Structure 1
Amino acid sequence: MPSSSASSKGRIGVLLVNLGTPDSPNTPDVRRYLNEFLTDARVIDMPAAVRYPLFRGLVVPLRAPKSAKIYQQLWDKDRGSPLLYHGLDLQKLVQEKLGKDYLVAFGMRYQNPSIESALQELRDAAVDRIIVLPLFPQYAAASTGSVQEKVMELVSKWWVVPSISFISTFVDDPGFINSFAALGKAELEKHDYDHIVFSYHGIPERHVLKGSHKNYCKLGSCCNSYNKNNRYCYRAQCFETSRQLGAALGLSPEQYTTTFQSRLQSRLRDPWLQPYTDEVIKEMPAKGIKNVLAFSPAFVADCLETTIEVGEEFKELFEEAGGQHWQLVPSLNSTPLWVDAVTDMIHRN
């Protein structure tokens, strides 16, 4: 018979979290999503007295109708937002892999299903402890950090707080790297490519500098290695993922480029991490690079920034500049290797 201490233990709770998505591609829902997202102090690190009037009063009202049109291109008429349904698929498959000793919940940092509702599901099940996995390979204060802050804020209100651990980064996790490399190899078998682009979501340079350990970060050659001094530097992590993926694909450093996309403002007013993807790819055809395979290794599920921005907008820019073939590697979504990788990360934690 099991001992009383063993039988008293509940399941282990697992919380998978992604960024968020509007409830629909209609302007009011997109506006609601953007208001929550762009007023997060970790995303827009301005004083609240400036942030709220600027973004709720000016930026979001102007941006929401335009974003709604883009979301309409992305939206699946049966399943809705790819970021949501791929997340739910991943949750289901990871639950099946982990078995009855675990309870896997899924939430979004912004909008629905919320982190609060996912945590409540775990709380109601009286899980023994909780493992939180933000689905962002590289740590950034505006993504992983925001999720961690929100989880701690919500759980701090519970009378009984279980043991909680966070998987803060999986930038060089073998399962993550091998999952993306497998998708890349499948695309490389279909076409001859001149070059590989690893395009990561950009963040303001000041975000990196604010988190620099003992002023180690210089936004340059300090990212040539990944070590204890820059293990939470977003830029260093992106370059490390590129190195790991390049090695897994059998590439030399000259065969790939690391770039950053999705900046909100011009670099003259507010510099973001460089080089900028859109500027780099416009110069490639003149250098004889006419066929490019693109990865988005900052994302583990297809979304607006991958499918639309990298897959369509960058393809158009590249072809207008004289490029012949631009192909986006699909994201990990709920592919078997990725399900195995997530399961393994949870087991190791």
Structure 2
Amino acid sequence: MAKTGVLLSNIGSPKSYSVSDVKNYLNTFLMDPDIIKLPFVFRWPLVHGIIVPRRAPYSAGNYKKIWLEGEGSPLTVYTQRFSEKLQEQLGSDYLVKIGMRYSDPSIDNALKDFKAAGVERVLIVPLYPQYAEATTGSTVKEVRRVAKHLKISFDFEVLPPFFDDNAFIDPSVRMMNESLTGQSVDHYLFSFHGLPEEQIKQVEGCLVTPDCCVQKNACAKNCYRAQCFATAGTIAKRLGLQSSQWTLAFQSRLGRAEWLKPSTDSILEKLAKEGKKNIAVICPSFVADCLETLEEIGIGGKEQFQEHGGENYFLIPCLNADPEWTANFASLIKGSKTKEAELKSLS
């Protein structure tokens, strides 16, 4: 009998790249109050009446560009492969299940599987290196809501953000070095998923000044922006880069609100116009390749860079089911159990 359930959760994907399936997915995703922070009475007509009808056909076309024929969405496929390898690494004391936040495999079915297997302790593992209320926070709330709805009682714990943990940093650095072997790189761009500034400002003391997020202990407050800077800075240092050799930016803006800056598209244009001909782009807020990395950055970003005079554009793959990453993550999970035992022994 497995002693610990490991619930891997990411944002999820539509069932197919058909417009109807993309509409269903976007409706579920955008109706989350942690994504669009408006009262339901305003959020529902905005999502169902304006955003989704306009966005779904465009998004469906983009999903089609990166869909793995015969397999499915890259995010779902790579997460499944990661799950299988992680199960091998963890062994029979653990039961690994995927519970996507807005799609299948669902959190509902994962919790039912844990109950059927006799699991009592569940480690919630949001597959986001940096903490954000719209990702990790929303996931944890949904898991607890589903468990209450199903009347299932587990001893829940949450894996902390791993934005600067060597388990994540080591394979990221190795992946960059391997991907760029023999290549000449003028500049490195770290592109993180963006968030509305108002969400960052909900953490007291965050986004007060341009450099507040790079101050000592800034990321201890679970400030997403600070943790992004910590990730990029740690990887850049390990690569031996000077501050002039790399830039941090934020992608995937949605709506008219002020989002974190600088934007990735503006930086790509700026680098090209400055005469940077060869750039490397890494997306370290994602552990699995998906629409945002493969289409938005891999296809759209490359086109934009080259349209403004850039030449060679090297997109670094996400960690996906990399063996070193999988082994490291298994150790991270086992370490969380060890820390729990140590805390109990001291109580």
TM-score category of the 2 structures, normalised to the smaller one: over 0.9
Cα distance, 1:68–1:226 mapped onto 2, change above 3 Å: farther
Deviation (angstroms), 1:156: 2.5
Alpha carbons 1:259, 1:274 under 8 Å: kept: yes
SS in 2 for 1:348: helix
Q: How many residues align?
A: 336
Deviation of 1:265 (Å)? 2.6
Quote the Cα distance in structure 2 between the aligned partners of 1:94 and 1:67: 31
CA distance in 1, matches of 2:81, 2:200: 33
Q: What TM-score results when the alignment is normalised by the length of structure 2?
A: 0.94
- Which amino acid counterpart does residue 64 of structure 1 have in structure 2? A
- Answer whether contact 1:216 1:229 (CA < 8 A) is retained: no
Pick aligned residue for 1:45 from 32, 37, 46: 37
Deviation at 1:219, TM superposition (A): 4.9
Instruction: Provide Cα deviations, 1:258-279, integer angstroms capped at 9, x if missing partner.
Output: 000010134xxx1100001100
Work out whether residues 36 and 110 of structure 1, in 8 Å CA contact, stay in contact via their aligned partners in 2.
Answer: yes
Secondary structure of the residue aligned to 2:96 is strand
1:320, CA displacement in angstroms? 0.7
1:324 alignment partner, one of 282, 287, 311: 311
Aligned to 1:6: none
CA offsets per residue over residues 114-145 of structure 1, 9 Å max, x none?
11111111111111311111000111111111
- SS state of the match for residue 111, structure 1? coil
Task: Give the fraction of aligned pairs with identical amino acids, expressed as a percent.
Answer: 40
Residue 162 (structure 1) aligns with: 154
Q: Provide the rounded CA distance (Å) in 2 between the counterparts of 1:226 and 1:322.
A: 38
Which digits, 9 at most, give the CA deviation of each residue in 1:223-260, with x for residues without a partner?
A: 11351665311110100000111112121222110000
The yes-or-no answer on 1:227 pairing with 2:214 is no
Instruction: Select 1:105's aligned residue among 97, 103, 107.
Output: 97
In the alignment, residue 285 of structure 1 is paired with which amino acid? A
What is the DSSP-based 3-state SS (H/G/I as helix, E as strand, rest coil) of the residue aligned with 1:175?
Answer: helix
Give the whole-Å Cα distance in 2 for the aligned partners of 1:78 and 1:179.
29
State whether structure 2 residue 267 is matched by structure 1 residue 275. no
Identify the match of residue 190 of structure 1 among 182, 189, 194. Answer: 182
Aligned to 2:272: 285
Structure 1, gaps ≥5 residues long: 1-8
The runs of at least 4 aligned residues of structure 1 exceeding 3 Å deviation read 157-160, 228-231
| Match of residue 248 from structure 1 | 238
Question: Given the superposition, is the C-alpha separation of residues 216 and 259 from structure 1 closer, same or farther in structure 2, using an over 3 Å criterion?
Answer: closer
SS at structure 1 position matched to 2:8: strand
1:122 aligns with 2:114: yes
For structure 2, the residue ranges without an aligned partner over 5 or more in a row are 337-347
Change beyond 3 A, Cα 1:207–1:348: same
Q: Is the 8 A contact 2:101 2:139 kept in 1?
A: yes
- 2:21 aligned residue: 29
Alpha-carbon distance, 1:310 to partner: 0.8
Indicate the residue corresponding to 1:305 in structure 2: 292
Between the aligned partners of 1:44 and 1:66, the Cα distance in structure 2 is 20
Contact 2:4 2:119 in 1 (8 A): yes
- 1:56-75 matches, cutoff 5 A: 56-75=48-67
